[in-house]
Amino acid sequence: MNTFNAIDRLITLLSKLPGIGKKSAARIAYHILNMDASYARTLAEQLACFHDSIRRCSECGSFTETDPCPICSDSERDDSVICVVEKPQDIHVIEESHEFSGKFHVLGGLIAPLDGVNPGDLSIGQLLLRIKRYNIHEVILAVNPTLEGDTTALYLQQILKEAGVEVSRLASGLPVGGDLEYTDRLTLSRSFRGRVKM
Amino acid sequence: MNTFNAIDRLITLLSKLPGIGKKSAARIAYHILNMDASYARTLAEQLACFHDSIRRCSECGSFTETDPCPICSDSERDDSVICVVEKPQDIHVIEESHEFSGKFHVLGGLIAPLDGVNPGDLSIGQLLLRIKRYNIHEVILAVNPTLEGDTTALYLQQILKEAGVEVSRLASGLPVGGDLEYTDRLTLSRSFRGRVKM
């Protein structure tokens, strides 16, 4: 169909994004047409320079515009605690919760031998360097409670204990607002083992 | 939070799109960062010229790059039948079904006195002009089976009958693959009234 050339091209491009199928892409494209043209232009400018303006922080490995990133260079943050995450977007979520005021470290993945991801592929060496250089006393592992997350946490625990730092991991259990009735067996089992004295 | 400047700006822009909240926007932004930079650049170029390359067809009122649009200027399509739709994206859906090979006409809305949309706000005059000029013999009303769609269909039926053309409307009833048990009363009532002899 050659009918809606520019619209079709935009729909095809948009439907490559995660969570956006052909129908949502069409809805978005027509929505943009009905919006003020300045929106499309601003979005275009933002996208055009997106990859050029973002690089990796040489300290923590997160995405940033400046190197080191604003978190690594923020002197008001507690630099004796490092929170270890799998990927940069995890930092985004933790920052929005305002629960943590230390530094971060991006592993760049989780140990998954079946997918060919071994400890050597993660930025563990850089983490150990930072621990030594900045006199870190606690490392919080904020990896997902999955098989790969558990494997990675166990591996890091051993290595970090040898480095002489305290190691903790985010609590796993019932989500707030969740319902016991609809909780899976594994989550329930974790919340029992990790039960908290009242 | 000033941490992820370019990323945050993109997230804010993306979350203005329909069906995309803050979380999906963040997911999309990080996904784009992980994709090849050429994708973001192509999408940017497409968006930058989007509004400039798209105009309204002076015949049918649809979005198009050329005026008249490819459908209106296609001599292989049946120009004795016009399918009347509310908005340009409806043409997109009908074209994808390959069910109709005539011409289209975009009303630009549906009659809704409570929202201040009266017959005079729709492109009904242009429709009557086209009927006279091109010797149209059938008009198919492809408006939604809603209160506004019904009102508009009734209004157009009267006017078009006076103009001496055959008027029909898309069948309304049970959706294919649907389940009687979960069908609402109104749809069921319509599918009874519109039942088909076998």
pLDDT(B190) > 50: yes
**CB-CB neighbors (< 8 A) of B69 in chain A:** 3
- Asked if A33 contacts B53 with a C-beta cutoff of 8 angstroms, the reply is no
Contact between A71 and A83 under an 8 Å Cβ cutoff? The reply is no
- Predicted confidence band of residue B4 (pLDDT cuts 50, 70, 90): low
How much is the pLDDT for B1?
A: 41
Considering only the top CATH level, what class is B2-53? mainly alpha
Residues in chain A with CB shorter than 8 Å from the CB of B39 are 13, 16
The Cα of A193 is separated from the nearest Cα of chain B by a number of Å equal to 31
Residue A40 scores a pLDDT above 90: yes
A70 contact B CB<8A: yes
Question: Across chain B, what does the average pLDDT equal?
Answer: 90
Classify domain A76-197 at the CATH topology level: Dna Topoisomerase Vi A Subunit; Chain: A, domain 2 (3.40.1360)
At residue A4 the predicted structure's pLDDT band, cuts being 50, 70 and 90, is: low
ipTM > 0.90 (yes/no):
no
Suggest the residue from B33, B51, B73 to mutate for an interface test with chain A (most A CBs closer than 10 A).
Answer: B51
Q: Where in chain B is the domain with CATH 1.10.8.420?
A: 2-53
Tell me which residues of chain B, numbers 14 to 53, contact chain A at a CB-CB cutoff of 8 Å.
14, 16-20, 24, 26-28, 30-33, 37, 39-53
For residue B54, give the nearest of B68, B64, B42 by alpha carbon. B64
Of A184 and B9, the structure prediction assigns the larger pLDDT to B9
Residue A4 to residue B64, Cβ atoms within 8 A: yes
pLDDT one-digit tens code per residue, A90-106: 998 888 888 899 999 99
Angle subtended by helix axes A22-34 and A5-14, to nearest 10: 130
State mean pLDDT over A145-173: 91
How many Å is the maximal CA-CA distance in chain A? 67
- Residue pLDDT, tens place only, B106-154: 999 999 999 999 999 999 999 999 999 998 999 999 998 889 999 999 9
Tell which A residues from 47 to 66 touch B, by Cβ distance under 8 Å. Answer: 47-54, 63-65
Q: Give the pLDDT confidence score for residue A93 in this predicted structure.
A: 87
- What confidence tens digit (pLDDT) does each residue in B65-102 have? 999 999 999 999 999 999 999 999 999 888 888 889 99
Whether residues A26 and B88 touch (CB distance < 8 A) is answered with no
Per-residue confidence (pLDDT) for residue B165, from 0 to 100? 92
Tell me B121's DSSP state: G
**Among A101-115, A162-176, B72-86, which is the least confidently predicted range?**
A162-176
For A110, how many CA atoms within 13 A lie in the half-sphere containing its CB?
20
pTM of the model: 0.77
Q: What is the mean pLDDT of residues B14-38?
A: 93
- CB atoms A26 and B89 under 8 Å: yes
Q: Where in chain A is the domain with CATH 3.40.1360.10?
A: 76-197
